[in-house]
Each structure stands twice: as structure tokens, then as C-alpha cells.
Amino acid sequence: MSPYLWMLCGSLAFAVMATLASSLSRTFPWQWLAVGRSTVPFFVCGLIALIWHIKLPIWNPRILWLRSIAGSLSLVFTFFSLTRLPSSDVMTLTNIFPVWVAIASWPLLGQRPSLTVWGCIGVALAGVVLVLQPHFDEGNFATLVALAASVTTTVAMLGLHRLHDVDPRAIVWHFSGVSFLFSFGSMWLFDVSARGTEPATVLSYAKLLGVGVAALAGQFCLTKAFTTGTPSRVSVVGLTQVGFTMLLEILLVGRAYNTQTLWGMALVLAPTAWLLSHPIRAKQTPQDESVAEGI
């Protein structure tokens, strides 16, 4: 199957995950959703490693912990945001991480952004302001948490650059295990009450399981896409998860988008797509980016 088709399938899977998580915000605490998202990939990847005799590193290399901790923070921030914001807004804001990568590449990699890149950064940030404004007017500052998720994703991406000697499935397993600990630990640090009074049913528990299954499917499809296609081109296709999420919101939630939000999404996604298709030229291999970076 074409790498771009794999990426489309992965984007759809992550859109389903985000939509399911958002729909469960009045039934389960966001920590439960994060735990569900981490548990399924952890056990499935562990089982695959056991069957195929894949080495599962725990303590070394140390950079693996940087990737897993940063990714776990991103996951926690994202699921907190998904229970307080429309899922398409969250997906738009969390997908801005290429902008932070472009900025961070100057001090960390010695790659000074060109004027075109600075222009893309400015346009994307203007789009972020448009997306944020309606929620700020409502006194909802969860958008800042979604932006924080994109920043921690940037750290995870930069960490992946140095993990080309580790099997991608082992990286996913390690990340899922650490993110489970972060998600479970957040139950003790933050309020665990759901943001509503809707009782849990068999269907809601099935949706909770679906969050983890969709995340696993998304990671598998993105891994296939990155290992069989050109990472920079495949990454651009990955932005379709925002479009898929918007479509699911329209069909299942009946959300109506105002002009300001649509312009904001466009201003975020267009320069992000350009930055993904013109990556910072550092030494990297397709396997560096072969792990699903989805939340």
C-alpha cells in the first residue's frame, strides 16, 4: 500500500481517537482517557516484541527517556485539552510543532531559519491567535495547554533524531509505558471528576477502549508510512488529521465553524505544511521519524 495511503489511514485513526476522547469528556475524567490511550499500545507492542524477540530497552539509551517523558507530557496536555475544547481546535494547535522545531533548530542545531521560514512562523502564529481568541473570550484557557503539548512534542521529535539505532516498536512500547505512568500519576495530582454527569454505560466503556485501539492503529499506520515513504512528504499528508477531525465533528457533533476559526486553522496549517515539506537539513534517516508522533 502507498505510504501516503498509510498516512491517510493513520490520520483518520488519530481523528477518531480525538473525537472519541472529546465525546467522553462528560463521562470519564481526562486521566482515564489518557490511560486508555497508553494501555493498548503498551501491551500490544510488548506482545509483538515478545513474539518477534525484539529487544525492549528500559534504562538506556538515556535520550529515550527524554523522548518518552516529553511525549508523555504532550499526551497528558492533549487529553486535558480534548475534554475542554473542540477536538479539531486541539488537533490544529498540537500540529504546530514544526514551527517550534524550526525555531529550536537555530540554537540547538545551528540551523538559522531563512526569511521564508520566519515568514511561515509569523503566519502560523497569527493563525494560532485567531484560533485562541474565541476560547479566550469565553474564559477557556485550555488552548494554552494544547500549545504546551505542541512544545513538548517538539522536544520529543528532537529526541527521536538520536534514536535511529532503536527499533521503532520498542520506542512506542517505552513511550506508552512512561505515558501510562504519567497518566496514572496525574490522577493523584489533579481532580479526577468528569466534566459532566453522564453515567458510564457499556457503550462509553467501548468508546474508551476505542481510544486506545485507534491510537494503536494510528501509530502502526504512521510507522508504515514513514518507513516506506519520504518523511517530509508523508508528514504533510499527516495534517489531514485536522480535516478528518473537522468532518467527524460536523457529522457526529453538528459543530458549525465561524469564519475566524476557519481562517485561523488555514493560517496554521498552510505554513506548517510548507515547513514539513522543507525540513531543516540535519543528519537523519527515515527510521528517525518512523515512530508515530501522534498523541
> Amino acid letter at 57?
P
Amino acid letter for position 241: Q
Q: Find out whether 46 and 170 touch, Cβ atoms under 8 Å.
A: no
Residues 6+ apart with CB under 8 A from 194: 25, 26, 27, 28, 29
Rounded CA-CA distance 75/69 in Å is 10
Cell numbers 514539513 label which residue?
Answer: 276
Give the closest residue to 125 by CA, choosing from 232, 2, 271. 271
pLDDT for the residue 108: 66
How high is the pLDDT of residue 229?
66
Cell of 158: 528532537
What gap in Å lies between CA 71 and CA 143, rounded to an integer?
18
Three-state SS for 195? coil
CA angle 69, 152, 208 (to 5 degrees): 70
DSSP H stretches of helix in 110-228 = 115-137, 142-160, 168-189, 202-228
d(CA 282, CA 72): 25
Predicted confidence band of residue 283 (pLDDT cuts 50, 70, 90): very low
Could you tell me if 168 and 291 are in contact, meaning their C-beta atoms sit under 8 angstroms apart? yes
For residue 288, the model assigns a pLDDT of 42
**Does residue 29 come out as left (phi exceeding 0), alpha (psi in the -120 to 50 range) or beta?**
beta
Q: Which of 156, 150, 177 is nearest to 57 (CA)?
A: 177
Please state whether the predicted TM-score (pTM) of the whole model is above 0.85.
no
What digits encode the pLDDT tens for the residues 77-133? 999 998 888 888 888 888 887 778 777 777 766 667 778 878 877 888 888 888 887
Question: pLDDT category, 58, cuts 50, 70, 90?
Answer: confident
pLDDT at 254: 75
Work out the number of other CB atoms within 10 angstroms of the CB of residue 283: 8
Higher local confidence (pLDDT), 266 or 104:
266
User: Which has the minimum average pLDDT: 142-146, 217-221, 237-241, 291-295?
Assistant: 291-295
